Amino acid sequence: MQKTDLTGFVPAIVTPFSQNGEIMEDGFVAIVDFLLNLGARAICVAGDNGESWTLSPQERGRLTRLAVDRLAGRAHVITGCSAPTLKASLAYASAAQENGASALLAMPQTYVLKATRDELLARFEALGKGTDVPIVAYNSPRRAGLGMSVDDIGAILDVAPIIGIKESERDFFHHTHLLHRFRDRISIMVGPGHYILPGVALGASGFIATGPEFLGEDTARIMSLGKQAPSPETAALHHRITVLYELLMGTSTWPAAFKAGLNLIGLPAGVPREPVAACSPAEVDKIRATFDALGIRRIQ
């Protein structure tokens, strides 16, 4: 996978679990089909949406293989390998590579109070040397517990085979400088839903975000509308994406609301795996009411 392949709609897929915590492979494949039909250029396996923190190396490998086989070259597979330790990250990366992943999605070392520049560089350099597939860096201060500055990202590009970044910093100053400095060097993929259209307008290559898949045919129009002059249609789409993002991120514990939403539209997303609990009936009603207000319907 190259920088030019990382564009457009790149969804992070859920891992459907049954009530007893087993992976529902048929459900996973059905959601792969759904995302491909919406125009996905690649699919991220074992990311935040996929409850990566509950997945063993073997499970990551199996999910990667299922996606690779189902997509059959029609879209790439990017597999998450983030972990607090390098040893665990390399184990996840090895399972992904052995099962056909085109790239790895990697945060800096997670769940530490702080990482120095040298520690960040050492982690990404070691990950790059330990695998034969390229890396999509993932900057998410809320999830990793630490954030990478624009200068940090620039330094990492010099030591590791980075083809792109999923940028989930919620600071438009950061997005603005990142796009200005590096959009010609790597694919910059927007994370937060409310930054997608502004980011595309400023040169982002695409988006790895949660919520756009509920918009059906409109999902495939996000990139083209984002590159056009602002219009009432663009503003309306931006509002729908923003409301979806707020709903899914602000209801229950992530990604319970996302799974509940997929179940509501008829996709077999199952339930979260422990320690996350499924949405309560009241929370499902809230999601259903918002979907009704946004015109989101069950798939046929």
Report the catalytic residues: 138, 166
Do 27 and 270 contact (CB within 8 A), yes or no? yes
| Pairwise CA distance, residues 131 & 104, whole Å | 9
Contacts of 196 (CB under 8 A, 6+ apart): 190, 204, 207, 209, 212, 222, 226, 238, 241
| Pairwise CA distance, residues 80 & 92, whole Å | 8
Query: Of the candidates 141, 136, 64, which has an alpha carbon nearest to the alpha carbon of residue 105?
Result: 136
Q: Where do we find the tokens 């891992």?
A: 15
Contacts of 105 (CB under 8 A, 6+ apart): 44, 46, 47, 78, 79, 80, 81, 82, 135, 136, 138, 166
Chain center to CA of 282: 27
Q: Where do we find the tokens 């603005």?
A: 176
| Pairwise CA distance, residues 135 & 88, whole Å | 16
Phi, psi (degrees; rounded to nearest 5) at 236: -65, -40
| Pairwise CA distance, residues 80 & 29, whole Å | 18
